[in-house]
């Protein structure tokens, strides 16, 4: 009986497989995407990465496609799950390049996967517009892989952003000079804390509490109680999504009432605002957007209307902008020639939802670095090369 059921199931699976084969039409641009749909980063990619690809394709195809030379070409997507695994990511790029023969690629998601896949993407000469990788290595990567472009800024920029914000508030008399500094013990957290410490010292801050915790730590109560005992004016944690939520929850439970409460990746997620409601007001984190900017405003409205949810307020708009740049560069090159499109990206200035972007050295220098929650919007309060819509304010209690 069981065996028969399995055979039926197998037959159904096979039927589905055949039905799932994509229709193939001429005059279509094949776009390949490989990013996490399972594994540790699947949650982040489901918020920041995949929806933006859908959104952009829908926009472009609704407008009749991209104008390539004298042809209007629609976009078709071939997508694979990399299971948050570098080995899978490389294999997927190979499959996209040599089996599916896609014309262009969407960059993978996260720093690690972008770097793992970069040599393979470079081998085939695809333009590689990384929108979810923030690390100090970007200048090296840009010269190592001339086809790659890095849009999310560097760790140093992010660290500078929060220190500038703290300095501003200290000068205004909002806060004193005592800082509690916490980081997740992996490359990202270490890079940020390494960049922040000398900057804090130079800014006249006193680090009264400092600790790190391993990635994946569930119980962060000791971190918060340790910080609370040191009575800081500002709590700064370079954390990942899971720990960002856990730290904030603990701070709320234990009543860590610092005028500045800053957490890392994940603070900008719409789920964060949903989880903490009004208590999120005043919390700072990595990212932010300028909601009074018309480009951003349009993007937010589009995202809400089409997907029924807010985007992630850090890399989401950048991811969308990366796709816009790819589309505009294809139109500008007037062909599907990869090298010509890489040249077009290098030489051009592009009108995107995050403003005008040009990357002559393959790196986008203009990024928002610190955001602060204000009634459901994660408003940028510090940026590098971009104007911000708000000034940092003291956080009230947790009510």
Partner 1 sequence: MTPFTNDELKWLGAGAILFAVAALLPLVDQGFYLSLSVNIMLYAALCTAWALFSGPTHYVSLATAAFYGLGTYTVGLGIDAMPYPLLLAIAALIGAALAGLVGAATLRISGVYFVIFTFGLAELVRQLVTWTQTKFATAIGLYVFTDLFEQHIYWMLVALTAAVFLTAFLINRSRLGFAMQIIGNDETVARHVGIDTARSKIVLFMISGAFIAVAGAIMAPRYSYIEPPSAFNPMISFLVVIMALLGGTKRLWGPLVGVIPFTILMDQVSARFPNHTMIVIGLAFLAIVYLIPNGVTGLLEQARARWKARAARMGQEKAA
Binding positions for partner 1, rule: CB under 8 A: 2-3, 6, 9-10, 13, 17, 20, 37-38, 40, 79-81, 83-88, 90-91, 94-95, 97-99, 111-112, 115-116, 118-120, 123, 135-137, 144, 185-188, 190-191, 194, 212, 214-215
Judged by CB, which is closer to partner 1: 49, or 395?
Answer: 49
Residue 385 CA from chain centroid, whole number: 18
Using the Cα atoms of residue 216, residue 221, residue 222 and residue 227 in order, give the sign of their dihedral: positive
Judged by CB, which is closer to partner 1: 74, or 83?
Answer: 83
Find the shortest distance in angstroms from Cβ 151 to partner 1: 18
Judged by CB, which is closer to partner 1: 20, or 277?
Answer: 20
Find the shortest distance in angstroms from Cβ 23 to partner 1: 15
Residues shown for the chain: 399
Judged by CB, which is closer to partner 1: 26, or 218?
Answer: 218
Beta pairing partners, 213:
184
Task: Compute the distance between CA of residue 229 and CA of residue 206 in angstroms, rounded to an integer.
Answer: 15
Residue 54 CA from chain centroid, whole number: 16
Closest to 333 measured CA to CA, from 357, 318, 350, 356: 350
Find the shortest distance in angstroms from Cβ 236 to partner 1: 17
* Neighbouring C-beta atoms of residue 383, cutoff 10 Å: 22
What's the first-to-final CA gap in the chain, in angstroms? 59
Find the shortest distance in angstroms from Cβ 376 to partner 1: 30
Residue 117 CA from chain centroid, whole number: 17
Judged by CB, which is closer to partner 1: 80, or 276?
Answer: 80
Find the shortest distance in angstroms from Cβ 252 to partner 1: 27
Find the shortest distance in angstroms from Cβ 155 to partner 1: 9
Find the shortest distance in angstroms from Cβ 59 to partner 1: 22
| 188 three-class SS | helix
- Count Cα atoms within 13 angstroms, Cβ side, for 388: 20
Burial of 153 (0-12, 13-18, 19+ CB in 10 A): buried
Judged by CB, which is closer to partner 1: 19, or 62?
Answer: 19
Closest to 378 measured CA to CA, from 387, 368, 364, 386: 368
Judged by CB, which is closer to partner 1: 191, or 293?
Answer: 191
Structure tokens at 33: 């995407």
Query: 326, 131 in Cβ contact below 8 A?
Result: no
Judged by CB, which is closer to partner 1: 78, or 333?
Answer: 78
Find the shortest distance in angstroms from Cβ 51 to partner 1: 14
Find the shortest distance in angstroms from Cβ 181 to partner 1: 14
Using the Cα atoms of residue 296, residue 302, residue 305 and residue 309 in order, give the sign of their dihedral: negative
Find the shortest distance in angstroms from Cβ 31 to partner 1: 14
Judged by CB, which is closer to partner 1: 188, or 378?
Answer: 188
Judged by CB, which is closer to partner 1: 117, or 289?
Answer: 117
What is the pairing mode between strands 148-150 and 206-213? unpaired
Q: Which long-range contacts (CB under 8 A, 24 or more apart) does 275-278 make?
A: 275/245, 276/248, 276/252, 278/399
Closest to 322 measured CA to CA, from 49, 45, 84, 22: 49
| 201 three-class SS | helix
């Amino acid at each position: 009986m069981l065996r028969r059921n399995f055979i039926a199931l197998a037959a159904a699976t096979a039927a589905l497989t055949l039905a799932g084969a994509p229709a193939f039409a001429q005059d279509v641009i094949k776009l390949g995407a490989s990013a996490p749909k399972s594994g540790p980063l699947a949650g982040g990619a489901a918020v920041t990465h995949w929806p933006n690809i859908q959104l952009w394709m829908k926009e472009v195809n609704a407008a009749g496609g991209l104008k390539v030379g004298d042809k209007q070409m629609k976009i078709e997507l071939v997508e694979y799950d990399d299971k948050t695994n570098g080995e899978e990511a490389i294999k997927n790029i190979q499959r996209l390049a040599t089996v599916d023969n896609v014309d262009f690629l969407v960059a993978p998601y996260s720093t690690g996967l972008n770097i793992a896949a970069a040599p393979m993407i470079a081998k085939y000469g695809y333009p590689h517009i990384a929108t979810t990788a923030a690390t100090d290595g970007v200048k090296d990567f840009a010269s190592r892989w001339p086809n790659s472009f890095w849009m999310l800024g560097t760790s140093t920029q992010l660290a500078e952003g929060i220190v500038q914000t703290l300095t501003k508030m200290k000068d205004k008399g909002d806060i004193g000079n005592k800082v509690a500094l916490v980081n997740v013990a992996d490359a990202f957290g270490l890079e940020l804390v390494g960049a922040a410490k000398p900057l804090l010292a130079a800014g006249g801050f006193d680090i009264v509490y400092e600790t790190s915790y391993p990635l994946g730590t569930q119980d962060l109560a000791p971190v918060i109680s340790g910080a609370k005992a040191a009575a800081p004016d500002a709590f700064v944690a370079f954390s990942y999504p899971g720990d960002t939520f856990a730290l904030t929850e603990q701070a709320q439970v234990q009543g860590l009432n610092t005028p500045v409460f800053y957490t890392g990746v994940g603070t900008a997620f719409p789920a964060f605002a949903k989880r903490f409601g009004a208590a999120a007001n005043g919390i700072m984190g990595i990212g932010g957007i300028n909601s009074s900017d018309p480009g951003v405003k349009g993007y937010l409205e589009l995202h809400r209307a089409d997907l029924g949810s807010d985007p992630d307020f850090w890399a989401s708009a950048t991811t969308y902008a990366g796709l816009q740049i790819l589309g505009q560069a294809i139109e500008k090159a007037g062909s599907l020639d990869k090298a010509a499109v890489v040249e077009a990206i290098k030489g051009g200035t592009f009108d995107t939802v995050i403003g005008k972007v040009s990357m002559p050295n393959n790196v986008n220098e203009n990024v928002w670095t610190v955001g602060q929650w204000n009634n459901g919007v994660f408003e940028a309060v510090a940026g590098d090369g971009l104007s911000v819509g708000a000034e940092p304010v003291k956080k009230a209690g947790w009510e």
